[in-house]
Structure 1
């Protein structure tokens, strides 16, 4: 009989365990791949200018210059100083969010009053970015990779649905300056369809 066993998932060299985060440097011209290893998992992404961490990724500047809320291949993520930071080169999932802030202890108290409080992506990012001199109050709205936040065009009301990303889906971003990157495997129930899985990343 033919072997119908599915091959094991391709795991990137760097794996962020469920409900945790990491930070690392990304040089100008290097390409970061964020990989949804198992599918249906969000990753909060932050970028800071490695030479001056007061320059940081900005959703407002990005929406303004890209003239869209739906960012995908060919779009650029901009800084608060109107400089390009990351260019999207490949987007398997085609669905991300740049509206909602990283989940935090306050988020869990507000939305999940009957669940244990978790420090969330905000706490994980704060810990991971501290060695780079980045304080919690400097953490902005993250680019939420693979997050699915549809909104009503008439009322503006939004909701958080499970991600549409499949196992092995990749978002590829090219650094436009030397960066410090913060990255998580998101901790919020609704963002990830009620389960928590790892996120992979590699620099190519």
Structure 2
């Protein structure tokens, strides 16, 4: 594999990455406390996308582990988790933040959000997004209590922890450094930070 240079995911923003089948993208939690929303779309047919509900239906657990594939809405593997130096527990339940989410939290002005970051990143490639699929929320700590309730907790990851995802088809992957600063999913103090990624090209 050829190793490309480290690339920036700016704080509160999103980036799109084009992968060929067999390429690996490594996502680095640079400061240890940043949640990264992740999506993947079939490059030839973006209406096929990584689906958290279909993935849970195959894995029969709430969070992927190393060796697990992530499945599309056509029940085909699109990415596979091949490395994870974090404690794991990546969330598959919570929808991407959007303008309405922040209004519900009491924000009365425009707030950066992952749904808009996704749309903007795909628009840069000329790819429309008809709706926002549920993301794989990398490093996001949403424990499930015994009574089934959820809570938003700071990430358990440390600075420099990373995950690596292998493309199982030619796809467009989007990463958003979540701008959430009203609940503590981005650590104590709720300060979003940048993260980084590196692509390892197959062949």
- Scaled by the length of structure 2, the TM-score of the pair is 0.89
CA distance in 2, matches of 1:173, 1:17: 20
CA distance in 1, matches of 2:176, 2:124: 16
CA distance in 2, matches of 1:88, 1:124: 23
Q: Report the counterpart of residue 80 of structure 1 in structure 2.
A: 73
- Scaled by the length of structure 1, the TM-score of the pair is 0.89
CA distance in 1, matches of 2:62, 2:21: 25
**Segments of 4+ in structure 1 off by > 4 A?**
none
CA distance in 1, matches of 2:169, 2:103: 37
Are 1:195 and 2:191 an aligned pair?
yes
Q: Retained in 1: the 8 A contact 2:36–2:139?
A: yes
The within-5 A match list for 1:154-173 is: 155-173=147-165
Q: Retained in 2: the 8 A contact 1:54–1:138?
A: no
Q: Report the counterpart of residue 15 of structure 2 in structure 1.
A: 22
Q: CA deviation at 1:71?
A: 1.3
SS of residue in 2 equivalent to 1:73: coil
Q: Retained in 2: the 8 A contact 1:184–1:199?
A: no
Residue ranges of structure 2 left out of the alignment (5+ in a row): none
Render the CA deviation track for 1:161-195: whole Å, top value 9, x for unaligned.
01111110010111100000111111112220201
Q: Report the counterpart of residue 4 of structure 1 in structure 2.
A: none
Render the CA deviation track for 1:106-152: whole Å, top value 9, x for unaligned.
111112x1575313011111101113444343320000110001112
Are 1:51 and 2:40 an aligned pair?
no
1:175 to 141, 148, 167: 167
Q: Retained in 2: the 8 A contact 1:34–1:201?
A: yes
Residue ranges of structure 1 left out of the alignment (5+ in a row): 1-11
Q: Retained in 1: the 8 A contact 2:12–2:112?
A: no
Q: CA deviation at 1:159?
A: 1.0
SS of residue in 1 equivalent to 2:124: helix
CA distance in 1, matches of 2:170, 2:129: 21
RMSD of equivalent CA atoms: 1.4
